[in-house]
Amino acid sequence: MKKTISLISAAALAALTAASLPVNAADGEKVYGTMNIPYADFYSAEIESDYEVDAVSSATASKWAMNEPGKLVAGTYNDDNGTILGVTFPVEVNSADVDKLEKYGFAKLDEKPIAYKEVSLSGDTLTLSKVIDTNGEQNVSGSAEVSTSTRYGDYQLNVKGYPEETDLYGVIVNTKEGGRYALRHLENIWRAGQLSWSAGITTKEGHGNELKFDNYKSSMGETVTSVTFITLDGYTTVDVGENYLPVKFAGEVKAEDSAAGMGKTSLTLTGFPDDYKKNISVGEGFTVSETEISYTNAKPGKYTVKVTDDSGKYALMSGDFTLTTDDIPVKYSDGKLVKADGFSDEDAANFIKNIASVEVNGTAYNAAGKRSVKLVGEDGTINFEVKSGENNVFDGSGNYSITVTATGYTKPYSFEIKPEPETTTITATTTTTASGNSDSPKTGDTGAGVSAAIFALAAMSAFALRKKKT
């Protein structure tokens, strides 16, 4: 098993004492160090100059600058203005060329690294070898899942078996057809073995950044068989079996919103290739043709119509539509949402399942998706201890104005919770005589109680009058 040094930044490799071979640069031959390598130069030998790999531009400053060890884009360097230019990686260079590498941020190492690239210079032309892996390339078994529905391009590849707890300096997706697709950080390389790229259909990712796709167009219709990860330990190639990348196209599936219950809505399919063998479905209780969706007893909420290609050549296409109602099938009772009068438990459960947001005393909280706050449980119970970040949603006052909005329900449900009224308990004190008899009125003896009260009032009045005369 390889020695793992990947969590150590490339710039800090000079302090590394655990590498295997000492350096002898005194003879003027080879020097080891780290340098900033543009993506184009880093990948050139890896993909045999099939194409030039571009830098990555991003408007998301909190991400492109996260290049410290263990961070999202660890091992990269940037222009301080939103563009990731390449990676900082160990190299071997002739000692006579060291001064020429100053503009690449060359920093000398005291030890020979486990993995490095050989660098040669001809004038200002930089040439780098493939990674020299002194421990030998590792091949491991793994798996992958392909998704054609992603906010980050046309294909997302989720790889299992990739080298974990290490920083990734490069990733190459290999296909059965001979394709080698070099990936860049942030736009293509993400956390937890997640990779994505555009092949020219989706040209903007979820944050609005433009996606580079020219180098990946040919990946459509190919079959991914392995993924090569480059770390400070060298190569790890994960065999992932055969994962077909379905052909994508600029088509659309559009279904109109309609009323829940029993009814129908129109469906429009555009841009489909002539040889796309359509298989259209929504779910149980729905009947679908290429122009219409009909349904019986459909609950309010969001639905998805899916179109798959029975030939397996093309990617799945889908579209969402919403069935709506004016009904509010829930009410608040004793700390939870329960079925309202005239509605079933199933009606209430459907409303709760579709809760999209909850507003508490004027502050709205998303109840679904990323960064959601789960204020209402599946059984309708309201969690009065829930937090949004580090802050309590409910302030503990017991006085809350709440509005619940659910997908498919055109009217929100609003209600108020008030603090429990305080109750005062008065305890009567009784005096027992030596004979054992109590001088307080017996339970049920209203006459005695009234007489005692009148006597006490009279005594107080007499005392007040006497005080006035003196």
Residue-wise pLDDT for 245-268, tens only, equals 999 999 999 999 999 999 999 999
What DSSP character marks residue 52? P
Give the pLDDT score at 427: 53
Read off the pLDDT band of 382 (50, 70, 90): very high
- pLDDT-above-70 percentage for the chain: 83
Answer yes or no: are the C-beta atoms of 89 and 117 closer than 8 Å: yes
pLDDT, mean over the chain: 86
The residue ranges of DSSP E strands in 283-369, in sequence order, are: 286-288, 292-298, 301-309, 317-324, 330-333, 336-339, 355-360, 363-366
Q: Is the pLDDT of residue 378 over 90?
A: yes
17-36 residue pLDDT tens: 333 334 444 445 899 999 99
Give the pLDDT score at 25: 44
Nearest of 254, 280, 289 to residue 269 by alpha carbon: 254
Answer yes or no: are the C-beta atoms of 396 and 417 closer than 8 Å: no
What's the mean pLDDT in 295-316? 97
Give the pLDDT score at 428: 47
The domain spans of the chain are 10-133, 138-244, 252-324, 330-417
196-215 residue pLDDT tens: 999 999 998 877 888 999 99
Give the pLDDT score at 60: 72
Please tell me the distance from the alpha carbon of residue 180 to that of residue 43, in angstroms, as a whole number: 10
Give the pLDDT score at 425: 56
Q: Is the pLDDT of residue 440 over 50?
A: no
68-112 residue pLDDT tens: 989 999 999 999 988 999 999 999 999 999 999 999 999 999 999
DSSP lists the bridge partners of residue 35 as 89
Contacts of 262 (CB under 8 A, 6+ apart): 295, 296, 297, 298
The domain over range 252-324 is classified in CATH as 2.60.40.10: yes
Q: Is the pLDDT of residue 15 over 80?
A: no
What's the mean pLDDT in 233-243? 98
CA torsion sign, 85 to 87 to 88 to 92?
negative
Give the pLDDT score at 124: 81
* pTM given for the model: 0.79
Please tell me the distance from the alpha carbon of residue 77 to that of residue 35, in angstroms, as a whole number: 10
Give the pLDDT score at 16: 38
Burial class (CB in 10 A: 0-12, 13-18, 19+), 403: middle
| Count of C-beta atoms within a 10 Å radius of residue 190 | 18
Helices of type H across 251-367: 345-353
